[in-house]
């Protein structure tokens, strides 16, 4: 339905969603069933979560205690032994079945993601498609990636060597609220494929989406107990997650990630972190204005900008800056806002009060220091409690908070440049290095600029989807945007321990009885010189 309250100039609107007989709503069988999957919580007060679109209750979630979490790890460790012994091909078949179930039952997931996270339905579908892609990739390639690897031994023929992979054991995964389905899949599924058990702590706000995927995984054949979900505040169960995990995977803020890394370091176990970003976009002078403006809208405002790889800074060559800005602002102002459970709205709401406060504070700080708001710039309580208009700023100076700080909302600043090296240096002048975007009619020129940017992923003529959706590529951050990678072979192998095995035959590797050490050393030196000239050495 259309909002009866006047909209901000240019923004089309849809009314708030009605939370009734939809999956994840209170009193529905699906929500109750999913909540029953949560482990622990008998001795801790439950938490009631509310829908961002309306503020209405979604579900009451049990919260685990420290003791609950440690008991879950014990159970997972016991279950993991049998899981690791199963052939990798068996684990692959489960992931392929999961892929099919995700696509078949996607309407359930779309409703859940919209209700929990406040996304537009198209943004929710991005999560469904990403989840299916991850399941398919590891369902097809895990056995090959994990297969024993042969290498050239020390002494040809006489030294036979190889590398095999063992699962870490029980992987702890702490997942964020902003992409509850996709990031769960990207982190959990390869850990399972590698033969690990998983104990996951999703954010309370979007826990039902993770629980839904867990339920589907068991329907696809995953044994019960291999993937377990616990809920609770980090202050209550964080120590247990760190201390019990054989590997810790975290997605969230840079300060929290640093704190977790320090704790993990004390145990000398491994970890991976995907942290914050202040992602730049560089528009080269030959860029197609219309296509670039359209792409920038998606790059900046998907999931209301609450995406780790979304663009918050745009650097446009001065020769086209005015034309680009005019086109981009017009397309931004035309975005349709709303919270209905359908494909009508192009942007949903923010997910939490904290995000709304941050976005509002950043925009007001910029405005008070001389920045110009070209479109947007205000909350929309007429649509729902957490709606904020997509906002484009210019004349943003270095003393403004959002100049360098991550906003994580539907706010972007436009800057001009005349020299591409200057634009690259300004794009790189940040503590972060997660994602970047380059736009040019010349793919080679775009690639060359991309290679000079200090970011873990760079997309040419795209905002983030080309790298995000290519599961065979590693994804992660440079600098303070993280440690390690998800996706690709690296996203699977990080959950394993490499073991080297060598079988030595015939010739010993120390002088035999009666052979002078000096003579042995000379002979071996001559052999090493000869080996260097052999192929594959």
pLDDT confidence of residue 508: 85
Residue 519 lies inside a defined structural domain of this protein = yes
Confidence grade of residue 25 (pLDDT, cut at 50, 70, 90): very low
pLDDT confidence of residue 29: 62
SS3 331: helix
Residue 336 lies inside a defined structural domain of this protein = yes
Choose the final residue of a domain: 275, 290, 314: 275
- Residue 96: exposed, middle, or buried by beta-carbon count in 10 A (0-12, 13-18, 19+)? middle
Residue 505 lies inside a defined structural domain of this protein = no
pLDDT confidence of residue 520: 86
Query: Tokens 């950043």 identify what position?
Result: 362
Task: Compute the distance between CA of residue 156 and CA of residue 536 in angstroms, rounded to an integer.
Answer: 11
pLDDT confidence of residue 345: 97
> In this structure, are 250 and 343 located in the same domain?
no
> In this structure, are 452 and 531 located in the same domain?
no
Residue 124 contacts by C-beta under 8 Å, 6 or more apart in sequence?
A: 109, 110, 113, 114, 117
SS3 19: coil
Which of 10-14, 106-110, 125-129, 228-232 shows the lowest per-residue confidence on average (mean pLDDT)? 10-14
CATH number, domain of 149, equals: 3.40.605.10
Residue 503 lies inside a defined structural domain of this protein = no
Task: Compute the distance between CA of residue 466 and CA of residue 219 in angstroms, rounded to an integer.
Answer: 31
Choose the final residue of a domain: 476, 492, 522: 476
pLDDT confidence of residue 537: 72
Whether residue 28 has pLDDT greater than 60: no
pLDDT confidence of residue 1: 28
Whether residue 9 has pLDDT greater than 60: no
> In this structure, are 271 and 285 located in the same domain?
no
435: β partners: 457
> In this structure, are 464 and 360 located in the same domain?
yes
Nearest CA among 175, 158, 171 for reference residue 211: 175
pLDDT confidence of residue 532: 87
Residue 121 lies inside a defined structural domain of this protein = yes
Residue 98 belongs to domain spanning: 37-154+163-275
pLDDT confidence of residue 20: 38
Whether residue 278 has pLDDT greater than 50: yes
> In this structure, are 271 and 284 located in the same domain?
no
Residue 495 lies inside a defined structural domain of this protein = no
pLDDT confidence of residue 513: 86
> In this structure, are 208 and 327 located in the same domain?
no
DSSP states along 499-533? EEEEEE-SS-SS--TT--HHHHHHHHHHHHHHHHT
pTM metric for this prediction: 0.93
pLDDT confidence of residue 36: 82
pLDDT confidence of residue 34: 87
> In this structure, are 213 and 327 located in the same domain?
no
Task: Compute the distance between CA of residue 40 and CA of residue 280 in angstroms, rounded to an integer.
Answer: 42
Whether residue 3 has pLDDT greater than 60: no
Question: 252-272, pLDDT tens digit by residue?
Answer: 999 999 999 999 999 999 999
**CB contact burial 115-154 (16+ within 10 A = b; e otherwise):** bbbbbbbbbbbbbbebbbbbbbbbbebbbebbeeeeeebe
Structure tokens that stand for 83 in this block: 């899981």
pLDDT confidence of residue 415: 98
Mean pLDDT of 353-381: 98
Residue 131 lies inside a defined structural domain of this protein = yes
Q: pLDDT over 90 for what percent of the chain?
A: 86
SS3 200: strand
Residue 346 contacts by C-beta under 8 Å, 6 or more apart in sequence?
A: 120, 122, 335, 336, 337
Whether residue 11 has pLDDT greater than 60: no
> In this structure, are 365 and 454 located in the same domain?
yes
Given a contact cutoff of 8 angstroms between Cβ atoms, the answer to whether 459 and 306 are in contact is no
Given a contact cutoff of 8 angstroms between Cβ atoms, the answer to whether 410 and 390 are in contact is yes
Q: pLDDT over 70 for what percent of the chain?
A: 94
Mean pLDDT of 324-335: 98
Question: 178-202, pLDDT tens digit by residue?
Answer: 999 999 999 999 999 999 999 999 9
Which of 127-136, 433-442, 502-511 shows the lowest per-residue confidence on average (mean pLDDT)? 502-511
pLDDT confidence of residue 15: 38
Task: Compute the distance between CA of residue 72 and CA of residue 450 in angstroms, rounded to an integer.
Answer: 44
Query: Tokens 């905002």 identify what position?
Result: 463
pLDDT confidence of residue 531: 87
> In this structure, are 266 and 283 located in the same domain?
no
SS3 329: helix
Q: Find the helix or strand (DSSP H, E) in which 415 lies.
A: strand 411-417
pLDDT confidence of residue 94: 98
The catalytic residue positions are: 274
> In this structure, are 140 and 192 located in the same domain?
yes
3-state helix, strand, coil in the chain (%, to 5): 45, 20, 40
Which of 213-227, 304-318, 333-347, 497-511 shows the lowest per-residue confidence on average (mean pLDDT)? 497-511
Mean pLDDT of 47-68: 93
pLDDT confidence of residue 33: 77
Given a contact cutoff of 8 angstroms between Cβ atoms, the answer to whether 271 and 314 are in contact is no
pLDDT confidence of residue 509: 86
> What average pLDDT does the structure give for the chain?
93
> In this structure, are 303 and 395 located in the same domain?
yes
CATH number, domain of 335, equals: 3.40.309.10
> In this structure, are 294 and 366 located in the same domain?
yes
pLDDT confidence of residue 27: 36
Question: 164-176, pLDDT tens digit by residue?
Answer: 999 999 999 999 9
SS3 254: helix
Query: Tokens 């008070």 identify what position?
Result: 368
Q: How many domains does the chain have?
A: 3
**In what side-by-side order are the strands of the sheet with 149-151?**
149-151, 159-167, 496-504
- Residue 428: exposed, middle, or buried by beta-carbon count in 10 A (0-12, 13-18, 19+)? middle
Residue 348 lies inside a defined structural domain of this protein = yes
Whether residue 18 has pLDDT greater than 90: no
Whether residue 344 has pLDDT greater than 90: yes
Confidence grade of residue 442 (pLDDT, cut at 50, 70, 90): very high
> φ, ψ for residue 482 (rounded to 5)?
140, 180
Choose the final residue of a domain: 275, 302, 321: 275
Confidence grade of residue 5 (pLDDT, cut at 50, 70, 90): very low
Tell how far CA 19 is from the center of its chain.
28
């Amino acid at each position: 339905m259309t909002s009866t309250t006047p909209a901000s100039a240019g923004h089309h609107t849809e009314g708030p969603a009605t939370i009734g007989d939809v999956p994840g709503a209170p009193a529905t069988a699906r929500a109750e069933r999913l909540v029953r999957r949560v482990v622990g919580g008998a001795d801790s007060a439950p938490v009631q979560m509310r829908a961002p679109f309306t503020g209405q209750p979604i579900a009451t979630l049990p919260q685990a205690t420290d003791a609950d979490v440690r008991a879950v790890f014990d159970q997972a460790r016991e279950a993991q032994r049998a899981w690791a012994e199963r052939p990798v091909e068996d684990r692959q078949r489960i992931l392929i079945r999961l892929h099919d179930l995700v696509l078949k039952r996607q309407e359930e997931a779309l409703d859940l993601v919209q209700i929990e996270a406040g996304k537009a339905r198209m943004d929710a579908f991005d999560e469904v498609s990403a989840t299916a892609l991850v399941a398919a990739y590891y369902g097809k390639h895990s056995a090959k990636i994990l297969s024993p690897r042969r290498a050239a031994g020390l002494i040809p023929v006489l030294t036979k060597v190889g590398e095999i992979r063992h699962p870490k054991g029980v992987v702890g995964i702490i997942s964020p609220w902003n992409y509850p389905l996709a990031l769960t899949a990207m982190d959990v599924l390869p850990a399972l494929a590698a033969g690990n058990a998983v104990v996951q702590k999703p954010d309370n706000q979007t826990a039902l989406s993770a629980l839904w995927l867990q339920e589907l995984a068991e329907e696809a054949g995953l044994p019960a107990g291999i993937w377990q979900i616990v809920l609770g505040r980090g202050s209550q169960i964080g120590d247990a997650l760190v201390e019990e995990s054989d590997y810790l995977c975290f997605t969230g803020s840079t300060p929290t990630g640093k704190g977790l890394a320090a704790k993990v370091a004390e145990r000398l176990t491994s970890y991976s972190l995907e942290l914050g970003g202040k992602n730049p976009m560089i528009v080269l002078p030959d860029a197609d204005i219309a296509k670039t403006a359209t792409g920038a809208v998606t790059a900046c405002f998907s999931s209301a900008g609450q995406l780790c790889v979304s663009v918050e800074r745009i650097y446009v060559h001065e020769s086209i800056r005015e034309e680009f800005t005019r086109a981009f602002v017009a397309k931004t102002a035309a975005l349709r806002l709303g919270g209905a459970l359908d494909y009508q709205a192009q942007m949903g709401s923010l997910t939490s009060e904290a995000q709304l406060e941050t976005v509002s504070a950043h925009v007001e700080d910029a405005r008070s220091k001389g920045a110009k708001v070209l479109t947007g710039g205000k909350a929309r309580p007429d649509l729902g409690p957490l709606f904020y208009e997509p906002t484009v700023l210019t004349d943003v100076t270095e003393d403004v908070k959002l100049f360098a700080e991550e906003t994580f909302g539907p706010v972007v600043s436009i800057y001009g440049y005349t020299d591409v090296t200057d634009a690259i240096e300004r794009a790189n002048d940040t503590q972060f290095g997660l994602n970047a975007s380059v736009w040019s009619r010349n793919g080679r020129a775009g690639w060359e600029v991309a290679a000079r940017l200090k970011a873990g992923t760079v997309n040419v003529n795209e905002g983030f989807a080309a790298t995000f959706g290519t599961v065979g590529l590693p994804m992660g951050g440079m600098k303070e945007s993280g440690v390690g990678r998800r996706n690709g072979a690296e996203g699977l192998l990080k959950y394993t321990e490499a073991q080297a095995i060598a079988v030595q035959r015939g010739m010993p590797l120390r002088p035999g009885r009666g052979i002078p050490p000096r003579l042995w050393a000379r002979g071996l030196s001559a052999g090493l010189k000869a080996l260097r000239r052999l192929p594959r050495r």
